[in-house]
Homo-oligomer: A and B are copies of this chain.
Amino acid sequence: MPDTLHDAGAVTVGEAADAVGLPAKTLRYYEEIGLVVPDRRGNGYRAYRPGEVHRLRFLKRARSLGFSIDDCRVLLSLYGDPGRTSSEVKAIAQQHREAIEHKVAELLSLRDELDRLIDACHGDHRPDCPILDNLAGGR
């Protein structure tokens, strides 16, 4: 576990995972797709430095807000770019917000349609069922 002089402050994938609250598998996946690429120790073990752990935390938070991996890639690069503008960041967030809003509208419409079918179905021991009738009727 040392290499302490060479990899000062660096931690293994398991330690980084515990520190951030993501599975180690996910960290390996993020490396594979080039999101957070740690150094390696002499034995081949990943060595996450504090900056990379920080990026992982950033990623975890962004993912928990529903941003796609591609969005996260852009957000991370903006985060690391002193020449960014806040309008670039805001645009991504707004686009994501609209996508969510759109999906909510879809789901609410589905829910309402299901509610109508569920209300129409007595739900007893008999076989006749307005839900199946609707599915079969296709309309």
Contact = CB atoms under 8 A, between A and B. Distances in A.
A114 to B, nearest CB: 5
A127 B86 CA distance: 5
Nearest to A85: B125
Given A136-B58, A138-B57, A89 B131 contact: yes
A48 to B, nearest CB: 16
A40 interface: no
A90 interface: yes
Given A107-B103, A110-B100, A131 B90 contact: yes
A86 B122 contact: yes
Copy number in this complex?
2
Contact of A61 (B75, B85, B107, B138): B138
Interface residues on A, range: 35 or more
Dominant secondary structure at the A interface = helix
A135 B79 contact: yes
Interface stretch (A7-15, A24-32, A91-99): A91-99
B87 A125 contact: yes
A3 interface: no
A72 to B, nearest CB: 9
A24 to B, nearest CB: 19
A118 interface: yes
Given A65-B110, A86-B124, A90-B123, 10 more contacts: A58-B135, A75-B135, A78-B132, A85-B125, A85-B126, A86-B128, A86-B131, A90-B118, A93-B114, A97-B111
